[in-house]
A and B are shown apart, each in its own frame.
Chain A
Amino acid sequence: MDFINVLKMEFLKLKRSYVWLLMCVAPLLMVVFGAYNFVRYQDVFLQGDAVPWQKLLGQIVTFYGLLLLPLSIAVMAVWLARIEHSENNWKHLFTLPLNLKAIYLAKTIIHILLVGISMLILYLGTIIAANIVNVGDIPLKAMAINSLICWATCLPILALQMLLSIRFSNIGIPVGISLAASITSVVITNSAYGKYYFWSLPSLTLMPNSEGMRNLTIPYSLSVSIIAFMCLWIIGYTLFRRQEV
């Protein structure tokens, strides 16, 4: 039994389920909505020495980073766990000759990839929108780096949501916690404590440089996110391994 087979098995399970489309639709929606808003209130946004592309980006990523992204991460985790909670599937899965670590890892990898797709679509969508509404040259490279860092800052949220979704078959618990945490981040992100709150990090990293990142350095956000992710993953896996099914 190789890990690649487990990964293949996990991918096969996604066939003909379209919940993952949410990860494509959510960023697209925000791109369209943000661009529309930008065009509509252009006069207001572009007063003084405002930079047009930064204003456009702000319109696209604010709501996405604060609410839609963390919520779609939660929904994906619920869905990846749900297919096993229903129809007695954990029992069968646990009687197959495979390492429990491999299942947990495979599910995490799929989850990370889905979030990655979401980031990629947001990035490409923003570029297309910038061209259409004509905001001039945009810093493609800086935006790509920010998107990658944003992806990394999603990891702790993703690991926590996976832990909760597998632990509790009642979807109200992971979804409720995600809602509460995201709504709290609306307040915290704009305060001095934003850099210490995991749900604020994705939106801080996505914000155009003048308003976002602030005192958030790349090494800080990467190391904090990856360490927190690893801790949460290990806790999640330990609970998973001990789960009685």
Chain B
Amino acid sequence: MTTKSFGEPILRKEDPRLVSGQGRYLDDLGHDALAAAFLRSPHASARILDIDVTDALEVPGLIGIYTYEDLEGRVAEPLPLLIPHPALLNGRTGYPLANEYVRHVGEAIVMVIAEDRYVAEDVVDLIKVSYEILKPVVGIENAKAAHNAVHPSVPNNVSAHSVKEVGDARAMIESAPHKLSLDLFIERSACSPLEGKGVYAIWEEDSQELRLWSSTQTSTGVRAAVAAKLDLPLQKVECIAPDVGGGFGVKIMHPWPEEVLIPWAARKLKRPVKWSEDRREHFISSAHERAQEHHIEVGFDEEGRILGLDVTFFHDNGAYTPYGIIIPLITSTQLLGPYKPASYRVEFTSLFTNTVLVIPYRGAGRPRGAGRPQGVFAMERTVDAIAKYLKLDRTVVRERNFIQPHEMPYDLGLIFQDGRPLEYDSGDFPASMAMLKKMVGWDDFETMRSEYAAMGRKIGIGVACYVEGTGVGPYEGGFVQVETSGRINVATGLTSQGQGHQTVFAQIVADELGVPIEDVFVTTGDTRRFPYAVGTFASRAAVMSGNAIALAARQVRDKALRLAGEALECDPQDLEIVDGIIRVKGDHTKSIALKTVAVLSNPLRYAFDESAKAATQFAVGDTSKPPVPEDQEPGLEGKDYYSPMASTFANGMHAVIIEILPETAEVKILRYVVVHDCGRVINPMIVEGQIHGGVAQGVAGALYERMAYDESGQLQNASFMDFLMPYSTEIPTVEAGHLETPSPLNPLGIKGAGEAGVIPGSAVFASAIEDAEGFEIRRMPISPSELWELRRTMKENA
């Protein structure tokens, strides 16, 4: 057998190229293109009275200045609302360029095209806009109070409202032996990929075709959106995602105003045009995530078993809802995690504010989190509160509420984000917890605590669990082709942002086809190569495209064995493929190279190369049939799709041991332990990397990052100096344990892994800080200054 690569920690195929500066990110393309820069609103809420470009027109190198008035056709219409939902009563989207009103700082008002970006920015500086400044709505409290309106046509700033109930939670809580209520708040953060957004468009006047590159998580989506906006046949538009320096959710949103405007300008000017987002633009005009305020009522018995859980929460969706209300929907459905309360009620209200819109914040290109950190924070704080109230061990209360392995598949009675019933397919939560406790030394922690206390040091331990719906449908496709040179081309439509798709998809194909992994070349996110796709988000790439590619490879294998059987005059069942050679099992003298079979698969055989010459000795085909029989196609290639009935659910549990400095309230991480179940693992090193990246984002969201808006709607920390994305120095060493309960839902038995590290971040740190300090932690993130002030308040109140 060829060395099996599925399950092996194979080095990433893409890395030599990426780490040696051979990567081609958006800004590396189109050096001769015209450059775009945008004048963006300095006000959170204002009416545009006048735009004066007199001085700006004098700048040498200026090509064009465009305002809303200049937009044509469908470009002048509001941007699409991508994901409508019955609960989204008042969805609103913006225009590519502001139409009279601006609703957040950073909203684009004027697009300038010039010979280069320097000139374009000079021009922007000279454009004078006069505004009637309106009173902004900033923060959930203000939005609820509704003294001012973000959109005059939307009453009370409410975009969406939803109530879901499984059982009669309110009655159950009422009659429960014990009750608690909690108020929990999570701040905004942002995706902050290292590479911002960017668009580059070439209009081919001769063929009336548009070729467009976008730093996106969905090239098929952008292609369709741009074709629709520019009124072009889909056939005349191609979209390519080049190397993408991270996405984390912000690049699944589409079309961004710039994705419409840049191609529009390129066509209008008949010249290539490029725009690369800068960091400040990214902070004030892309997307954030996460601000939510939760009120929880819970009823439970003496044992800590939850009888009724009633969660009411408010979600700050920013100024517009182009991506619908996915975040609160995910919070509401994924909040329960591994637990089975006897009844559950969840109600949310999504509110407009004069701030940047929100988008599911996700992982290293693969989605990360997206509404789940909030839900997990709410649920895990609740479980901790129950444990504290009953003076029970926090893990014991968790174990008593776990769904048990024999109850799988488990139907939670809710509808998931994919519109299908929320049913966990697999998972062994008690086993995960046992593993976590053992790894972190949970049962010995009190000894450790007293040892530290004896040295005057204060430590705490926290725990948090989550379940994550991954591999969300509807489908992805895969294409596998064997060239006569032996090179294997693989394509899938979804995009890569650094996750290692080139490697894991190649591993799958190498195993299915029995070829060396070096011969396998993977292309993602190029609509010229694979036009049908959804995109990379919700930890779905490995599950969706991985399975589709496996199915396509199996087609290729079947065809190859059939043709080889004809050539070698034996039963295909007796054949195996090892290192790219098809041979008779047990008789290695009878063999034919896979690349030679690729030649045989195509009746048109010019002898270009060695494989073609080698093929002349074999005869295939039935002379009583046409050269390409009715049910067959020339070439050794296969294409297939994978479309699951339902999402597959990964799960995990984290524990952290922290030390808090007595005088300065600084939090030091002593240990961080992750137990994780993503089903069958294709490449443990890559999964580990995803977990490390996720934990880094979890630490960031818990202890460092926030969006500091002032009351006038100015983002005060729109730079990496003040938006405290942690450095590697702030990130702990991650100790990870893997549990593999294969998903029964897909051929490869895999589940998603991209978001695992981040989801329980805020919950696990809140749990540990609370454990160390002894008082309740109800808001995250928390800075040393806030923790110190909280201590002081607690002391004063005591």
A binds B: no
- Give B contacts to A, CB under 8 Å: none
- Give A contacts to B, CB under 8 Å: none
